[in-house]
Structure 1
Amino acid sequence: MSGAAARPGAVLFVCRQNAVRSPMAAELARHYFPKSLYVRSAGVVDDGEPDPFAVAVMDELGLDISKHHPRSLEELADTSFDLVVTLAPEAHHRALEMARTQAFDVEYWPTPDPTVTTGSRSQILDAYRSVRDGLANRIKTRFAP
């Protein structure tokens, strides 16, 4: 992505419920860029609950999101972000609406929702790991100095 968009200083990750994709992305960004990025996450709706599979796959990397409390965009105290990264279609539409009256860039990173995965515990965890690893790769590439 060399020569692509400028590296932001404040990033907001948004998904549907702020329970899986956006908290994973936010924690990964904090982990990889602890001193150079201000990071938050939110959801479009406020009925999200902490997800035990998301907690488990992040714990595999030594990252703890067990105390994360899902919050909606309306609950954000700070909205002064340089970049809003949307991870779900409904989040993208909402961010574009917000961008009409606020000064930030919006990037859409289509990210599968692992909560719809069925099968064994192992298959479900693999789906969550795939999302985690995809986000980690995208974050490292996008925000590298």
Structure 2
Amino acid sequence: MSHPKTVLFICTHNAGRSQLGVHLLSHVGDDRLVATSAGVSPADEINPAVAASLQELGIDTSAAQPRAVTADDLQDADVVVLMKPGLALPGPVAGELVEWSFPDPSNWEADGVRELRDAVADQVRGLAARLAG
């Protein structure tokens, strides 16, 4: 049996976009994929509107805690997904680099986040299918 592939989602604060990525991949993926997330300037907590939008899908984010991306994270991940292109990372990416462009939901209400969540979910499903393929 091959080892699972690690997918690291990165955004600015690890409170919105990357949390959507990690939780949605964990939700739709299987044991061949391990999802993690981090931020370049982490917030104190996950965005409540993002957490609420994920809860609507039955995804529990209560244990989610934003954290800073490290050089080791970038070396250990098979795939690094930047949820915002051009982020300043603490080192080189050893695996595949994927850049998606999603708006920052920092000040959004839950209604606005749903559309973002669904757009991220579409990208995540495509990535999961390609990696598991």
**Which TM-score applies when normalising by structure 2?**
0.84
Give the match's secondary structure for 2:45: coil
Q: Which structure has the bigger radius of gyration?
A: 1
Unaligned runs of 5+ in 2: none
Q: Which one is further off, 45-54 or 11-20?
A: 45-54
Q: Give 1:77 deviation, angstroms.
A: 6.5
Match of 1:138 among 109, 114, 123: 123
Task: Indicate the residue corresponding to 1:32 in structure 2.
Answer: 28
Task: Indicate the residue corresponding to 1:98 in structure 2.
Answer: 91
Task: Within 5 Å, give how 1:77-88 maps onto structure 2.
Answer: 79-88=75-84
Q: Give 1:113 deviation, angstroms.
A: 1.1
Structure 1 vs Structure 2 CA RMSD: 2.2
Change (3 A) 1:114 1:78: closer
AA at the equivalent of 1:136:
A
Structure in which a larger fraction of residues adopt helix: 1
Task: Indicate the residue corresponding to 2:49 in structure 1.
Answer: 53
Percentage of matched positions with identical amino acids:
32
Distance 1:141 1:105 in 2: 15
**Equivalent residues of 1:19, 1:51 under 8 A apart:** yes
Give the match's secondary structure for 1:69: coil
AA at the equivalent of 2:96:
D
**Equivalent residues of 1:42, 1:76 under 8 A apart:** no
AA at the equivalent of 2:45:
E
Q: Give 1:52 deviation, angstroms.
A: 1.2
Give the match's secondary structure for 2:70: helix
Corresponding position: 1:68 with 2:64: yes
**Equivalent residues of 1:87, 1:109 under 8 A apart:** yes
**Equivalent residues of 2:11, 2:18 under 8 A apart:** yes
Q: Give 1:24 deviation, angstroms.
A: 1.3
Unaligned runs of 5+ in 1: 1-7, 118-123
Q: Give 1:134 deviation, angstroms.
A: 0.6
